[in-house]
Amino acid sequence: MVYNEVAFSRRTLLGVGAALGATAALGHLGARPAWATDDYEYVRERFRADLVGSRTVDPDDPAVAAIVAGYDDACDERLDQFSPSSQGVFADLNITGTSSSAPVSASFTGLRSMAYAFAVPGGRYTGSSELADQIVTGLQTMNDLVYNVDQPEYDNWWTWEIGSTGRIIEILTMCHEVVPADLRAALCDAMAHFVPDPGFNYPPDSPRRVVSSGANRINLCRAVILEGILMRRPDRIELGIETFLPALEVSDTGNGLLSDGSFVQHNQVAYTGAYGCSYLNGASSLVSLMPQTPWEMADSQVAALLRSIDDAYTPLVFNGQLAASLRGRAVSYPSSSDSGDGQVILSSALRLARQADPETAARWRGLCLGWIERSRHYDIRASAALPLLALIEEAEALAPPIQPQPIESRTFPGMDRVVHQRPGWSANVAIGSTRINKFEVMNRENRTAWHHGDGFLGLYLENEEVAQFDDNFWPTVDPYRIPGTTVDSQPRPILNGGGLDSMLGFSPMVGGCVVGGEPNPPAQRGTHAIWTARERNWRSSMEATLSWFFLDDGIVALGSGINAPIVERVSAFGDAYVRGGTYADNNYSTAGYLPVRKSSSASYTRETYFQFSLADLPARIRSATLYFNADVDDSGGTEMDVEVHAVDGEWVENTITWNNRPPTGERLATVHVVEEPRWHAVEMTEHVRELLAAGDTLSVVLLEDPPDGTGLNVKVRGRTSSTSTAPYLEIELDEPTPDTYPIETILENRKVPGDDVPAWSVDGVPVSGSDVPGWRDAIVGTTAHLPGTAGYLMLDGERTFDLTCDERTGDWHRIREREDDTPIIRTYQTAWLDHGRMPTDASFAYHLLPRISAQDLADLAESPSAVVVANEADRQAVAAPGQGYFAAAFHAAGEVRHGRQSIRAEAPCTVATLGEPGAGGSFEISVADPARDADVVEVQVSLPPGLPLRVTRADDTIDLSISNGVAHLTVRTAETYGRSQRILFTADV
């Protein structure tokens, strides 16, 4: 159980229950109960109700009893380790004997488990005085040892400011009557010490102090507000609310909720799950606590939070499961799951339904009950914590119409995600850009996430008995074969952390547009979509153009321009600079920054030398490029030309001086350096080939030769300045090496029941033995079919399907270091296309058809519903005539045609059209600038012939003219943030 899934108390049933009943429009509760004369006690008791129950819970109900038994078991687990001492509260959590702060918050988590058992109704520990004494002893021990006003933060700031504060608040609320007032005050004072202002992370005197944002801001505010409630400190409550309300506002970029429904944390990680769920849970809880108190928030102040249910959260949930691609590194936590985050969204939606207008509230409740009804992989109602169970029962009692599975496409350009839902299935695609990370690794978590953002296509199916991406998927799946991705299969290092910038994508050209249905801007909602990306794997030379086209019956995936040159990166083994005049005999080989300057004074003239060994390279290479990082650092100007010359002779790093430097050879290139640090590339293929033939070392010198004889100081970063800015030579080899690995497109990697493994069929013929773990084969065909999952129809002719049935063994420790290495076994059916070890302009085109039968797949192979119109590196297009759909991704200016339809773009963009109007019909055009680097995009789209069309809806960014049956659109895309710009035509009758 996660996210405060705690139980209900008897006192709540009798006291606060009435206040949590049915609400009026906009959610303001009925009259406060007679006992609630004190504002602080009223809010505290309502928060206790939010933690441990409402009036609808019957402790004698078998379902409730089962949940309560779970809390008792969790308490037993902690009591087995309960041993207060000078080292901590629990024997397995040594606080003082480690530099890690993790045992601090973990100890409060253990005490919270004990508090739950104390507070729930009908349990073995409910109201136990012995357990109460143990909880108090544990809190006192923590206060004495580490969590007090004299303790400075160490290790992870989160432990002190969020992890511990949240747990303390909950313990003190559930055990308010039994915790002595002085201990309660001491712990609250400690919280105020660690969180003096929720607008910031880190202590006031820390050089790392930064403005808080997103989920972190919400959790900090929650701690401060509820600390103020517990201690009757109005100034802390007001500070918390003043800081909380701006966090509910949406923006177009940055952290937290974005206006298009995206949720971003750490500035560049897609995080609707985990952090986004923590944000929603905390915010919905605080908003629901304050009505009818002096701290009540106005409807206008919480409107964006209410809207987020429709725009940001529920579109990403399929029958109670949140898309795994939105949970960041939390996929490496055994305690976290798609279903767990789905429950947070479900409970928050039901909670906020009390704040919504009646129509919206009924729709949200009907949507949640629909998830519960359709879920097959687990029983949401039976697995719910007691507070959620009460909300479900409240929704059932109100009997709203059950909402069916939505038929829609949603794009989230703010976090580089797209989701497509149809009856019985949902799919989402995740791919990184220069704005959003491919993956997140931090704190030795998510350590094999290399390909999570390389086009991961998460397919969710109704009627699956086991949740696909829960149930130990992540520790057991082959991390090199994440479904939907196109990958360089070379072995990768286990990751532990590092700068998030190093995990960003390769290109800004990632995004797409939606078309069809009723727009709901700034949210991006339609019935169909297109998504495209210029892709390069992390630390790989493989590049490809990828696009996905989202249709009624499935998804067409295209890949083109798949190139994987073999690139060797050679670091400099020597560098130094030399200086003339009175310094001509000095050696300068230890500097991290190497100057280049021509001066009228010989003593101020400097030249920089690099040398690279070519000994390990093959004799034949395709290209060679020198890269170095430099900037102008001179008060006399901001730009300067630097010449790169060959060196005719040998030199030694620690002995070279101006006087003994070798002769300068031919000029290889001139680069223009400016005041901003930039990488500079020098093409030197022929020169390196000559050196390879002669068996020589590459040696170059950087110098200035200005016309007037006086230059500017240029600062070049040397090999000891930083590994991220050190000079290097990039060699593209002419042929594969023995350790070159193939490039693969992963059609599927499905976790299947180990006792009922489905068998593959290819072109309608069952493949014998393919349901036996250990089986593998490569079979030529046009279709592959995995019963219960999907069919895969190749749209580019026969291909070789590489197929395997594997029983894989993994463990959580491999992907999250702090977890144990207990072996876990799961069975997988995997299919992929092998593009070879060094492909040039390879491609693929397939139609993914979820839940299709073998016979329907065979029929569709005879008459495909989708047609590939273009599949080139600079343009990709698909038409689905039966659906009136035609869409294209342009990575350069160009045109695509299908029959009488044509789309032309004058710059990179995506264009989608939908509709074949007869009388009263409609035709829509949607345009987006995924790269976000154009102020204006011009497109021309042929209009359907026949009846005259009139514009019935258009975004104000679009200027339209029509001539000769072609719509000429000028779309002002500046500051549209990659969103769809749409225009709708209706045929006059």
From 42, 71, 147, 275, active-site residue: 275
From 124, 193, 209, 266, active-site residue: 266
Phi, psi for residue 120 in degrees, rounded to 5: -70, 155
Instruction: Look up residue 198 and give its two tokens.
Output: 């929720």
Residue 601 DSSP one-character state: S
Report the run of H or E that residue 200 belongs to, with start and end.
strand 200-201
Cis peptide bond upstream of 294, omega within 30: no
- Cβ 505 vs Cβ 437: under 8 Å: yes
Which amino acid belongs to residue 687? H
Question: What residues does 905 pair with on adjacent strands?
Answer: 894, 939
Which amino acid belongs to residue 121? P
Question: How far is the C-alpha of 523 from the C-alpha of 261, rounded, in Å?
Answer: 6
Question: How far is the C-alpha of 156 from the C-alpha of 716, rounded, in Å?
Answer: 36
Q: Indicate left, alpha or beta for 709 from its phi (over 0: left) and psi (-120 to 50: alpha).
A: left
Q: Which residue matches tokens 């409550």?
A: 237
Question: How far is the C-alpha of 901 from the C-alpha of 514, rounded, in Å?
Answer: 19
Judge residue 304's burial from the number of C-beta atoms within 10 Å of its C-beta, 0-12 exposed, 13-18 middle, 19 or more buried.
middle
Is-catalytic flag, 536? no
Rounded CA Rg of the chain: 31
- Cβ 874 vs Cβ 552: under 8 Å: no
Question: How far is the C-alpha of 122 from the C-alpha of 119, rounded, in Å?
Answer: 9
| SS3 at position 586 | coil
Instruction: Look up residue 714 and give its two tokens.
Output: 């240029």
From 11, 167, 222, 329, active-site residue: 329
Q: How far is CA 866 from CA 863, 881, 910, 914, in A?
A: 9, 7, 18, 14
Residue 359 DSSP one-character state: H
Instruction: Look up residue 314 and give its two tokens.
Output: 């529920």
Q: How far is CA 352 from CA 16, 240, 391, in A?
A: 18, 20, 11
934: CB partners within 8 A, 6+ apart: 907, 908, 909, 973, 974
Give the DSSP letter string of 756-812.
SPPPPEETTEE-TTTTSTT-EEEEEESEEEETTTEEEEESSS-EEEEEEEEEEEE-H
Q: How far is CA 298 from CA 28, 245, 277, 295, 820, in A?
A: 10, 10, 23, 10, 48
Sign of CA dihedral 815, 818, 823, 826: negative
Question: How far is the C-alpha of 50 from the C-alpha of 68, rounded, in Å?
Answer: 16
Question: How far is the C-alpha of 482 from the C-alpha of 744, rounded, in Å?
Answer: 11
Which amino acid belongs to residue 752? V
Please count the other Cβ atoms lying within 10 Å of the Cβ belonging to residue 377.
Answer: 21
Question: How far is the C-alpha of 239 from the C-alpha of 246, rounded, in Å?
Answer: 12
- Cβ 980 vs Cβ 971: under 8 Å: no
- Cβ 345 vs Cβ 313: under 8 Å: yes
Question: How far is the C-alpha of 241 from the C-alpha of 238, rounded, in Å?
Answer: 5
Q: Give the chain's length.
A: 989
Is-catalytic flag, 968? no
- Cβ 432 vs Cβ 417: under 8 Å: no
CA angle 354–355–356, rounded 5-degree value: 95
Q: How far is CA 505 from CA 269, 501, 569, 576, 746, in A?
A: 11, 9, 20, 34, 19
Is-catalytic flag, 813? no
Instruction: Look up residue 343 and give its two tokens.
Output: 């429950």
Please count the other Cβ atoms lying within 10 Å of the Cβ belonging to residue 836.
Answer: 14
Question: How far is the C-alpha of 519 from the C-alpha of 513, rounded, in Å?
Answer: 12
Catalytic residues: 266, 275, 329
